[in-house]
């Protein structure tokens, strides 16, 4: 079994943080991958399932919040590449 675990930290850069639209965009992108996708708010300690909009909203991550993306699974490399680009691009806002 070819499974990887990748971790990368980010700072939420888009002006409104992770609100409904960015959470939805993130979850839609995460759905394309088999890997487990976990997002942690490094300031509050809240942990979210990257496949759940409600869970992502519960992160309470306004602009400037430090978050950690942890991805485990066979397609972790591609998932990390895609989701990193999304976060770093401000969720296309």
- What is the domain range of residue 11? 4-92
Known catalytic residue at 46:
no
Q: For every one of its 93 residues, what pLDDT tens digit does the chain have, with 9 covering 90 and above?
A: 467 899 999 999 999 999 999 999 999 999 999 999 999 999 999 999 999 999 999 999 999 999 999 999 999 999 999 999 999 999 877
Q: Read out DSSP for 43-76?
A: TT--EEETT-HHHHHTT---TT-EEEEEEEETTH
Residue 40, domain CATH: 3.30.1340.10
**59 backbone φψ class: left, alpha, beta (φ>0; ψ -120 to 50):** alpha
Q: How many domains does the chain have?
A: 1
pTM of the model: 0.94
**56's tokens:** 């992502």
Given the residues 4, 8, 19, 68, select the one marked as catalytic.
Answer: 19
The secondary structure of residue 10, as a DSSP letter, is E
What pLDDT does residue 2 have? Answer: 62
User: Of all helices (H) and strands (E), which one includes residue 36?
Assistant: strand 36-41
């Amino acid at each position: 079994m070819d499974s990887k675990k990748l971790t990368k930290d980010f700072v939420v850069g888009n002006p409104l943080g992770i609100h409904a639209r960015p959470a939805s965009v993130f979850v839609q992108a995460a759905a394309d991958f088999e890997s487990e996708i976990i997002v942690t708010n490094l300031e509050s300690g809240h942990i979210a399932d990257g496949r759940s909009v409600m869970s992502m909203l519960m992160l309470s991550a306004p602009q400037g919040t430090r978050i950690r993306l942890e991805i485990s699974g066979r397609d972790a490399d591609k998932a990390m590449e895609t989701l990193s680009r999304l976060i770093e691009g401000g969720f296309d806002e």
